[in-house]
């Protein structure tokens, strides 16, 4: 018999993910069509898979240096220079087990007991728990639809206290698809500088920015030494299962992060690291093609949802739309549960991404046009049935 | 409208409906329909075909790639010879090549004998044709960007992930 009261209360009291609950519900429904996933549907480009096979054949199967293969770190630097005009050298790079490990070790490194971290919500499900597990206090700032889910200076300003240690951002964002342009960041940079905040910027969806190119907050030199960029291979190269991400930061910070990383993880998977070198050297074109596919699917989904009367704006990044469903009179949970049970379509309730997501649903367009078409038809029938019953 | 994008989409799926194309491209249905008509008129869109794995049907069918050496003619170069080759209905595809031969011709027939007869009686005697080398195709793995029978499993993602 286990007495949970004597165990870590932060873990014991951590609520289970709302996504998990919904996953269990969806699994029980026969013939369900899902628009509920947070990963691309493309197989990893063959060039990358072949490189991994070669790595196995050549027995490149040992630990790598903790920080990651030097040639991979060099290629990451070349990549972020080429794509986002960021200047880093290999001392600034730590290769991690996906962006997920990066989030975890960053907060374990940055936070002292009771430090506050500003978190933007609705947001990715792992952020708040990781901050709490690192004994920090998440302070939520709401991203509002009327601002295209961008962070506004006045909202940020209100949330800053003397205990604020860091701000965690995710643009392009899950679940909103919101992005920050250079001019949007310019508004908040002085505030960040003035309060000496660390910026943890999860830019895992950077390549999926549709109009124009992605701006990294690390491009602002005046705060760069306090910025920790999280990025990785999952979304851009369709490599979710390879579990490979990285952190870009000041080299003193990297050295500290590497202490947590080396004791917790040792190193990121070696085979994935070799494959990632091929990705960075040879797969720019594949990235562009996948992005174009996503953009076409986005257009198709948004236009189709508008046609069936679910008003949806064009998100500028990632692969999610986040429409408001308040007009139906249902909560997010009710909407998604009924849509699932009555019309067999799985989408994720906005409330799974924080209470500020209540009244919204997250629909992923990491699916083929054919699948999106069938799902939207069913959503349309569901909306009609709601109207008839009112 | 981004014409290249439209072409890229229908190159992969000739059956895409105008309504869907309009939604994908963020254009009106009328604009898409007009654009398609323009592209057809300009012979940029030359046809709408289906990729069929004939090996899985019970039809007798063989394909051959034939390298054709040819001697160019004064004034018309290779074009006149090409037209004498490609007008035969047996010829599915015909390219002018660099390298060791002048034309690469893909020919279909019911049997190897039929293809051999075509080469011997029709193709080789064409004036200007100096020689042929016939390669019969044994199996088609990938055609027009489509892998006909993938050994990769259809990997289902989990229904819902964060």
From the list B5, B9, B159, the residue facing A23 with the nearest CB is: B159
Residue listed under structure tokens 């898409």: B32
**Which residues on chain A are in Cβ contact (under 8 Å) with B162?**
17, 19, 38, 124-126, 174, 352
- Nearest-CA residue of chain A relative to B159? A34
Interface of B with A in 118-157 (CB under 8 A): 152, 155, 157
**Which residues on chain B are in Cβ contact (under 8 Å) with A32?**
159
Whether residue B134 sits in one domain with residue B61 = yes
**Which residues on chain B are in Cβ contact (under 8 Å) with A296?**
5, 9, 24-25
Q: CA-based Rg of chain A, rounded to a whole angstrom?
A: 21
The pTM (predicted TM-score) of the whole model is 0.94
Contact B20 A373 (CB under 8 A): yes
Strand A320-321 with A361-364, pairing: antiparallel
Q: Is the torsion defined by CA of A155, A156, A157, A160 positive or negative?
A: positive
Model pLDDT, residue A97? 98
CB A110 within 8 A of CB A199: no
Quick: pLDDT tens for A37-57.
999 999 999 999 999 999 999
**Which residues on chain A are in Cβ contact (under 8 Å) with B9?**
296
CB B105 within 8 A of CB B133: no
A298 close contact with B: CB closer than 8 A: no
Nearest by Cα to A201 from A102, A326, A64, A82: A102
Model pLDDT, residue A20? 85
Is B159 inside a domain boundary? Answer: no
Whether residue B114 sits in one domain with residue B76 = yes
Nearest by Cα to A381 from A330, A327, A345: A345
Model pLDDT, residue B150? 85
Whether residue B83 sits in one domain with residue B119 = yes
Would you write out chain B's pLDDT as a tens digit for each of its 162 residues?
889 999 999 999 999 999 999 999 999 999 999 999 999 999 999 999 999 999 899 999 999 999 999 999 999 999 999 999 999 999 999 999 999 999 999 999 999 999 999 999 999 999 999 999 999 999 999 999 999 988 887 778 999 999
Distance CA A165, CA A182 (A): 23
Interface of A with B in 332-361 (CB under 8 A): 346, 348, 352
Whether residue B8 sits in one domain with residue B74 = no
Is B155 inside a domain boundary? Answer: no
From the list B5, B25, B160, the residue facing A348 with the nearest CB is: B160
Dmax (CA) for chain A in angstroms is: 66
From the list A17, A27, A32, the residue facing B162 with the nearest CB is: A17
Contact A373 B26 (CB under 8 A): no
Whether residue B62 sits in one domain with residue B35 = no
Q: Hey, of A299, A346, A352, which one would you mutate to test binding to chain B, going by the most B CBs within 10 A of its CB?
A: A299
CB A87 within 8 A of CB A289: no
The average confidence (pLDDT) of chain A is 97
Whether residue B67 sits in one domain with residue B11 = no
Strand A320-321 with A345-346, pairing: unpaired
Model pLDDT, residue B151? 83
Is B149 inside a domain boundary? Answer: no
Model pLDDT, residue B155? 72
Split into its structural domains, chain B has a count of 2
Q: Which domain holds residue B106?
A: 54-139
Closest-CA distance of chain A to residue B159, Å:
6
Nearest by Cα to B33 from B13, B17, B11, B15: B17
Residue A21 pLDDT exceeds 90: no
Is B162 inside a domain boundary? Answer: no
Whether residue B127 sits in one domain with residue B66 = yes
Model pLDDT, residue A16? 84
Whether residue B86 sits in one domain with residue B34 = no
Which residues, at least 6 apart from B57, have a Cβ–Cβ distance to it below 8 Å? none
Quick: pLDDT tens for A296-351.
999 999 999 999 999 999 999 999 999 999 999 999 999 999 999 999 999 999 99
CATH number, domain containing residue B97:
3.30.70.920
B26 close contact with A: CB closer than 8 A: yes
Whether residue B133 sits in one domain with residue B58 = yes
Is B156 inside a domain boundary? Answer: no
Model pLDDT, residue B68? 98
Is B150 inside a domain boundary? Answer: no
Model pLDDT, residue B66? 98
Residue A17 pLDDT exceeds 90: no
Whether residue B67 sits in one domain with residue B19 = no
Quick: pLDDT tens for A123-179.
999 999 999 999 999 999 999 999 999 999 999 999 999 999 999 999 999 999 999
Distance CA A61, CA A53 (A): 11
Residue A121 pLDDT exceeds 80: yes
Distance CA A191, CA A167 (A): 11
Whether residue B135 sits in one domain with residue B66 = yes
- Nearest-CA residue of chain B relative to A305? B23
Distance CA A17, CA A25 (A): 13
Quick: pLDDT tens for A202-255.
999 999 999 889 999 999 999 999 999 999 999 999 999 999 999 999 999 999
CB A116 within 8 A of CB A139: yes
Tell me how long chain A is: 390
Is B49 inside a domain boundary? Answer: no
Tell me the residue ranges of DSSP E strands in chain A: 33-34, 93-96, 116-121, 137-142, 164-169, 198-202, 227-232, 245-248, 320-321, 345-346, 348-349, 361-364
Is B69 inside a domain boundary? Answer: yes
Model pLDDT, residue A92? 98
Whether residue B74 sits in one domain with residue B9 = no
Which residue segments constitute the domains of chain A, with CATH numbers given? 4-43+285-389 (3.90.1150.10), 59-283 (3.40.640.10)
């Amino acid at each position: 018999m286990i007495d949970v009261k004597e165990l870590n209360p932060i873990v014991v009291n951590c609520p289970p993910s709302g996504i998990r609950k919904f996953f269990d519900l969806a699994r029980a429904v026969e013939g369900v069509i899902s628009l509920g996933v947070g990963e691309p549907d493309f197989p990893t480009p063959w060039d990358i898979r072949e490189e991994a096979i070669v790595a196995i054949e050549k027995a490149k199967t040992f630990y790598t240096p903790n920080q990651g293969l030097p040639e991979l770190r060099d290629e990451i630097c070349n990549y972020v220079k080429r794509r986002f005009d960021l200047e880093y050298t290999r001392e600034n790079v730590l290769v991690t087990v996906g962006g997920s490990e990066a989030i975890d070790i960053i907060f374990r490194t940055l936070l002292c007991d009771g430090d506050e971290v500003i978190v933007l919500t609705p947001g990715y499900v792992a952020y708040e728990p990781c901050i709490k597990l690192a004994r920090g206090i998440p302070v939520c700032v709401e991203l509002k639809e009327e601002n295209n889910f961008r962070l506004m200076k006045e909202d940020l300003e209100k949330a800053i206290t003397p205990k604020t240690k860091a701000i965690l951002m995710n643009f392009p964002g899950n679940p909103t698809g919101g992005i920050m342009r250079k001019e949007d960041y310019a508004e908040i940079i002085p505030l960040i500088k003035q309060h000496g905040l660390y910026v943890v910027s999860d830019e895992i969806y950077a390549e999926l920015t549709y109009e124009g190119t992605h701006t990294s907050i690390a491009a602002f030199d005046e705060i760069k030494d306090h910025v920790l960029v999280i990025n990785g291979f999952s979304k851009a190269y369709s490599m979710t299962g390879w579990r490979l991400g990285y952190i870009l930061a000041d080299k003193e910070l990297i050295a500290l992060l590497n202490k947590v990383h080396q004791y917790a993880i040792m190193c990121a998977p070696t085979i994935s690291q070799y494959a990632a070198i091929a990705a960075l050297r040879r797969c720019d074109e594949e990235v562009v093609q996948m992005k174009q596919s996503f953009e076409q699917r986005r257009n198709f989904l948004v236009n189709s949802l508008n046609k069936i009367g679910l008003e949806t704006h064009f998100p500028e990044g990632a692969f999610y739309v986040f429409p408001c469903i308040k007009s139906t009179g249902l909560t997010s949970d009710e909407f998604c549960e009924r849509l699932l049970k009555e019309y067999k379509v799985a989408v994720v309730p906005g409330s799974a991404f924080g209470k500020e997501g209540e009244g919204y649903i997250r629909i992923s367009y990491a699916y083929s046009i054919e699948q999106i078409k069938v799902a939207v038809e069913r959503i349309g029938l569901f909306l009609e049935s709601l109207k008839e019953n009112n | 409208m981004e014409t290249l994008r439209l072409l890229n989409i229908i190159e992969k799926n000739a059956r895409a409906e105008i309504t869907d194309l309009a939604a994908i491209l963020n254009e009106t249905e009328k604009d898409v329909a007009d654009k398609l008509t323009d592209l057809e008129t300009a012979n940029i869109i030359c046809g709408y075909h289906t990729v069929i794995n004939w090996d899985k049907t019970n039809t007798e069918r063989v394909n051959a790639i034939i390298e054709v050496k040819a001697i160019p003619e004064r004034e018309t170069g290779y074009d006149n010879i090409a037209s004498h080759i490609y007008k035969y209905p047996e010829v599915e595809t015909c390219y002018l090549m660099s390298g060791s031969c002048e034309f690469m011709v893909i020919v279909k027939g019911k049997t190897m004998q039929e293809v051999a007869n075509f080469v011997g009686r029709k193709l080789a005697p064409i004036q200007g044709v100096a020689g042929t080398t016939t390669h019969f195709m044994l199996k088609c793995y990938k055609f027009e960007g489509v892998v006909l029978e993938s050994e990769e499993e259809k990997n289902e993602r989990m229904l819902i992930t964060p």
